A and B are shown apart, each in its own frame.
Chain A
Amino acid sequence: MAAGVAAWLPFARAAAIGWMPVANLPMPVAPTEKNKRQDELIVLNVSGRRYQTWRNTLDRYPDTLLGSSEKEFFYNEDTKEYFFDRDPDVFRSVLNFYRTGKLHYPRYECISSYDEELAFFGIVPEIIGDCCYEEYKDRKRENAERLMDDQEDNKDAKLPNMTFRETMWRAFENPHTSTMALVFYYVTGFFIAVSVITNVVETVPCGSVPNMKEVPCGERYTVAFFCMDTACVMIFTVEYLMRLFAAPNRYRFMRSVMSIIDVVAILPYYIGLVMTDNEDVSGAFVTLRVFRVFRIFKFSRHSQGLRILGYTLKSCASELGFLLFSLTMAIIIFATVMFYAEKGSSSSKFTSIPASFWYTIVTMTTLGYGDMVPKTIAGKIFGSICSLSGVLVIALPVPVIVSNFSRIYHQNQRADKRRAQKKARLARIRISKTGSSSALLHSKRNGLFNEALELTGSNEDEKHLSKSTSLIESQHHHLLHCLEKTTNHEFVDEQYYQQSYLEAGLQNYPSRSPSLSSQDGVTGTCCSRRSKKHHHTPLPNSSAPAHMQPLKHSHSHPQGLQELSTIHIQPLSTSRSSLNMRIEEPAPLNCQSSQITTAIITIPTPPVTTPEGEAHHPTTPSLQNVVKVSAL
């Protein structure tokens, strides 16, 4: 429970008086403060700096060092203060956590020293407030990455038992792992460069046969270039096949960008081999040759920078698209305007709107080739407006893209972080909710065991059971218990609720007076269902349906009201007696808590007042007194 809210517990309990006139059952006894002492100031001396706070403030979180009795280890008798030999600055945050219920992470603190202090004082870092949680997680992640980087540098030893395939893949991905891989890496890089240069040089006009025009080198030394091309393509093919063989997931590898680039780079050669020197397809063949330039992208395996650029463009795709769209809009607008402005002038180059596109683009990008110029005054005015706006339109997006890139990148990360945080926060809230409700049920069980053990006089066990609940918790549980009594319903676990809901659906509502058969029938289903689920043999389950029935009929039986009140008062003795029956196992019961945790003991309701019920009594004398054990 939050720290501040604990201070309002007295108010909530006082307000419970509003339920009293409505309740039909007597209320449970309130927990008393065993050692009620006045709230006192305690002094915490942290490396010489003295902090003072109320004892109650520290008691809010009993599972931390300062809230539990663990701090007694640090008590200094002579100076009557608690001395901690720790960092006093970080202790400020720790103490503020007790005061406000929120843990903050100061930015100037080193993350590892902060973590150490939290670990010392027994505080889980997950409860850092939302205001500082992001910063904390960021720093923690950075630190972890740094540690991991350090580790990776030492991790060059070859792992044993790697298959040949895995070795090859690893060699391909990390060239510096072995000399062979390094050699391969450089060789492929060299051949990529050679191939690209060849493609370029192919088109350079080199020397001319005297009576013919200049021919490009490619046509002059056809054989040589062909041999060079073949060699490069063979190397690329071999490399691609080797990668394909070594890939752990071939299908995924084939879909990856790099492999597509590889394929596109070598395909034109093979297509060229296959195709004959046909006039129709030679045009297409020439186009295919263009794709050879994609070999340059193979460099991106060798260069980290290219990869980052590619990722940048991909992640900025929407911004780039928007830029393109707005540019297109501006181009169309200005082209239209210029066209109509220049329509009047003679011998105008602005023959159509698409023709004006060229002028607009050239002007807006401040190129200004000068092949198309407006001649009319209107054209000149709009032309100048076009070039002025062009400066803005073109110059603006560049830093916008750059900042967009960093913004989008961080935003994506932050959105994921926020989603994870939200999930984590909801999970935390759910855990604390179920924690408090399960704590209630846990303590109910403990409370009743306490009663039983009180009778048997085993005080040690009682203390052992009650040490876990603090006073505030027991008061809170008492409050919830009062609510249960007021409404005559109990809090149960989700699982049990589903179960009982199903059972309630299966039961037919019996007639006004419970008959033998219906009770038996109901007993049968409940008993059989429950006996499958529990370890405890549910002797008392047969009284369970009887428990449910009087409530249903309370409005119809005038004596139902009395029944309800008798329900509680009477069996208090019988429940004890029933528990006494199991005295042989109190100690083992405590130990084998796994069995107990499935049980919650509720008060039985023997149908003493219904006449038909009397018929049962001779047959089930012990059953009616025994407590009902139901599942959690």
Chain B
Amino acid sequence: MLTMNLEGLEMIAVLVVVVVFVKVLEQFGLLETDYDDSVEDELELSAVRHRPEGLEQLEAQTRFSRKELQILYRGFKNECPSGVVNEDTFKDIYAQFFPQGDASTYAHFLFNAFDTDHNGSVSFEDFVMGLSILLRGTVQEKLIWAFNLYDINKDGYITKEEMLDIMKAIYDMMGKCTYPVLKEETPRQHVEVFFQKMDKNKDGVVTIDEFIDCCQNDENIMRSMHLFENVL
């Protein structure tokens, strides 16, 4: 009969053998130990796809003709095959028109102005409605749209801070290499000029009526409102 003196090291040796054996069994799947089931969590939602409403409905809701809607949609779908624009894509597209400056802040405000239902993405309907106002709307509608753009928190008043943010965003688009050299206080000065012009009762905010009144009395602004009507 074998007398096995299991000393310290021999015990370790046996332990090692047992562990290796267990691991081999696990490998073959004969022994089930707990493992995290994260496989299902890997299923990501596939890319969001959005199909716009029919052509007739869009024709009725906007002031574009059929052909114009077709041209618009083709361009839109080319750049965003999934049918919706999210903010980052929007910023990228807009930034390509302004190579010298940083257009991201202004693009952010613009995105919020187009995303009327505030769901974080601009679908073709939002896009085309916005364009319809801008290109084919009355001057009143355009001014209301501009007011909405400036009114960042959509409370009906444009404060100096909001205007300053917008102004800085616009000046950011110019970039660094400008003549004359852009200074820190240039946007602020511009905001002061704006408020002097628009804020009739000097209460520090511009309401929509003040805004529309003032713009309608300024012939420069009136003329420039008609500037882009033949864009499409």
Interface residues of A (CB under 8 A from B): 1-2, 4-5, 7-27, 29-30, 32-33, 38-39, 337, 340-341, 344, 376-378, 381-382, 385, 432-433, 436-437, 476, 479-480, 482-484, 486-494, 496-497, 500-501, 504, 547-548, 551, 554-555, 561, 565, 602, 630
State A17–B72 Cα separation when bound (angstroms): 19
CB distance from A433 to the nearest CB of B (A): 4
Q: Which residue in B93, B146, B198, B224 is a CB contact (below 8 Å) of A8? A: B93
**Is B190 engaged at the interface, CB distance under 8 Å to the other chain?**
yes
Contacts of A21 in B (CB 8 A): 143, 146, 150, 194, 198, 211, 215, 221
Q: With CB as the reference atom, state the residue of chain B lying closest to A484.
A: B174
State A561–B193 Cα separation when bound (angstroms): 8
CB distance from B225 to the nearest CB of A (A): 6
**Is B91 engaged at the interface, CB distance under 8 Å to the other chain?**
no
The 3 A-B pairs of least Cβ separation, nearest first, read A7-B75, A497-B177, A14-B134
**Is B110 engaged at the interface, CB distance under 8 Å to the other chain?**
yes
**A4-B75, A14-B135 known; A490 and B179 CB under 8 Å?**
yes
Q: Would you give 25 A-B contacts (Cβ < 8 Å), ordered by A?
A: A1-B96, A8-B75, A8-B93, A11-B131, A17-B142, A18-B110, A18-B113, A20-B225, A21-B150, A22-B190, A23-B221, A32-B230, A38-B67, A381-B10, A381-B16, A432-B99, A486-B170, A487-B170, A494-B177, A496-B179, A504-B181, A548-B180, A554-B189, A561-B196, A630-B179
Q: Are B170 and A483 in contact (CB under 8 A)?
A: yes
CB distance from A245 to the nearest CB of B (A): 58
Q: With CB as the reference atom, state the residue of chain B lying closest to A568.
A: B220
State A15–B14 Cα separation when bound (angstroms): 78
CB distance from A537 to the nearest CB of B (A): 21
Q: Which residue in B67, B110, B171, B215 is a CB contact (below 8 Å) of A15? A: B110
Interface residues of B (CB under 8 A from A): 4, 7, 9-10, 12-14, 16-17, 67, 71-72, 74-76, 78-79, 93-94, 96-100, 110, 113, 127, 130-131, 134-135, 142-143, 145-146, 149-150, 166-167, 170-171, 173-182, 186, 189-190, 192-194, 196, 198, 211, 215, 220-221, 223-225, 227-228, 230-232
State A278–B108 Cα separation when bound (angstroms): 89
Contacts of A27 in B (CB 8 A): 220, 223-224, 227
Q: Are A14 and B220 in contact (CB under 8 A)?
A: no
Contacts of A479 in B (CB 8 A): 97
**A11-B127, A377-B10 known; A497 and B181 CB under 8 Å?**
yes
Q: Which residue in A19, A29, A476 is a CB contact (below 8 Å) of B97? A: A476
Q: Are B171 and A25 in contact (CB under 8 A)?
A: no
Q: Are B174 and A487 in contact (CB under 8 A)?
A: yes
Which residue, A38, A436, A483, has most C-beta atoms of chain B within 10 A? A483
Which residue, B7, B79, B142, has most C-beta atoms of chain A within 10 A? B79
Q: Are A500 and B179 in contact (CB under 8 A)?
A: yes
Contacts of A25 in B (CB 8 A): 220
Contacts of B177 in A (CB 8 A): 491-494, 496-497
Q: Are A554 and B193 in contact (CB under 8 A)?
A: yes
Contacts of B7 in A (CB 8 A): 344, 378
Contacts of A497 in B (CB 8 A): 176-179, 181
State A344–B78 Cα separation when bound (angstroms): 80
Q: Are A19 and B170 in contact (CB under 8 A)?
A: yes
Q: Are A17 and B71 in contact (CB under 8 A)?
A: no
State A358–B120 Cα separation when bound (angstroms): 70
Known contacts A10-B72, A26-B224, A488-B190, then 14 further A-B pairs from the complex at CB < 8 Å, ordered by chain A residue: A5-B93, A17-B225, A18-B149, A20-B227, A23-B220, A23-B224, A27-B227, A30-B227, A32-B230, A38-B67, A337-B9, A376-B10, A382-B13, A492-B179
Contacts of A2 in B (CB 8 A): 96
State A395–B134 Cα separation when bound (angstroms): 73
Q: Are A26 and B170 in contact (CB under 8 A)?
A: no
Q: Are B232 and A10 in contact (CB under 8 A)?
A: yes
Q: With CB as the reference atom, state the residue of chain A lying closest to B4.
A: A377
CB distance from B29 to the nearest CB of A (A): 23
Q: Are A14 and B179 in contact (CB under 8 A)?
A: no
Q: Which residue in A377, A437, A500 is a CB contact (below 8 Å) of B99? A: A437
CB distance from B80 to the nearest CB of A (A): 9
State A385–B173 Cα separation when bound (angstroms): 69
Q: With CB as the reference atom, state the residue of chain A lying closest to B20.
A: A385
State A497–B130 Cα separation when bound (angstroms): 37
CB distance from A103 to the nearest CB of B (A): 16
Q: With CB as the reference atom, state the residue of chain B lying closest to A341.
A: B9
Contacts of A341 in B (CB 8 A): 9, 13
Contacts of B76 in A (CB 8 A): 7
Q: With CB as the reference atom, state the residue of chain A lying closest to B180.
A: A548
CB distance from A501 to the nearest CB of B (A): 5
CB distance from A377 to the nearest CB of B (A): 6
Q: Are B146 and A17 in contact (CB under 8 A)?
A: yes
Contacts of A476 in B (CB 8 A): 97
CB distance from B17 to the nearest CB of A (A): 7
Which residue, B78, B149, B196, B215, has most C-beta atoms of chain A within 10 A? B78
Contacts of A9 in B (CB 8 A): 97
Contacts of B96 in A (CB 8 A): 1-2, 5
CB distance from A62 to the nearest CB of B (A): 18
**A20-B225, A504-B181, A554-B189 known; A7 and B78 CB under 8 Å?**
yes
Q: With CB as the reference atom, state the residue of chain B lying closest to A429.
A: B99
Q: With CB as the reference atom, state the residue of chain A lying closest to B76.
A: A7
Q: With CB as the reference atom, state the residue of chain B lying closest to A502.
A: B181
CB distance from A394 to the nearest CB of B (A): 20
Q: Are A437 and B71 in contact (CB under 8 A)?
A: no
Contacts of A13 in B (CB 8 A): 228, 231
Q: Which residue in A10, A16, A483, A494 is a CB contact (below 8 Å) of B174? A: A483
Contacts of B67 in A (CB 8 A): 38
Which residue, B142, B198, B231, has most C-beta atoms of chain A within 10 A? B231
CB distance from A70 to the nearest CB of B (A): 25
Contacts of A500 in B (CB 8 A): 179-181
Contacts of A10 in B (CB 8 A): 72, 75, 131, 135, 231-232
State A2–B221 Cα separation when bound (angstroms): 32
State A30–B232 Cα separation when bound (angstroms): 12
**A20-B225, A22-B194 known; A14 and B131 CB under 8 Å?**
yes
Q: With CB as the reference atom, state the residue of chain B lying closest to A488.
A: B190
CB distance from A171 to the nearest CB of B (A): 58
CB distance from B57 to the nearest CB of A (A): 21
State A23–B11 Cα separation when bound (angstroms): 88
Q: With CB as the reference atom, state the residue of chain A lying closest to B94.
A: A12
Q: Are A504 and B180 in contact (CB under 8 A)?
A: yes
Q: Are B146 and A555 in contact (CB under 8 A)?
A: no
Q: Are A378 and B13 in contact (CB under 8 A)?
A: yes
Contacts of A484 in B (CB 8 A): 174
State A575–B99 Cα separation when bound (angstroms): 30
CB distance from A627 to the nearest CB of B (A): 14
State A500–B180 Cα separation when bound (angstroms): 8
Which residue, A10, A492, A551, has most C-beta atoms of chain B within 10 A? A10
Contacts of B173 in A (CB 8 A): 483
Q: Are B189 and A555 in contact (CB under 8 A)?
A: yes
CB distance from A361 to the nearest CB of B (A): 21
State A18–B194 Cα separation when bound (angstroms): 14
Q: With CB as the reference atom, state the residue of chain B lying closest to A385.
A: B16
State A19–B227 Cα separation when bound (angstroms): 12
CB distance from A352 to the nearest CB of B (A): 17
**A344-B7, A493-B177 known; A22 and B127 CB under 8 Å?**
no
**A7-B79, A489-B174, A497-B177 known; A14 and B143 CB under 8 Å?**
no
CB distance from A15 to the nearest CB of B (A): 6
Q: With CB as the reference atom, state the residue of chain B lying closest to A28.
A: B227
**A15-B134, A344-B7 known; A487 and B190 CB under 8 Å?**
yes
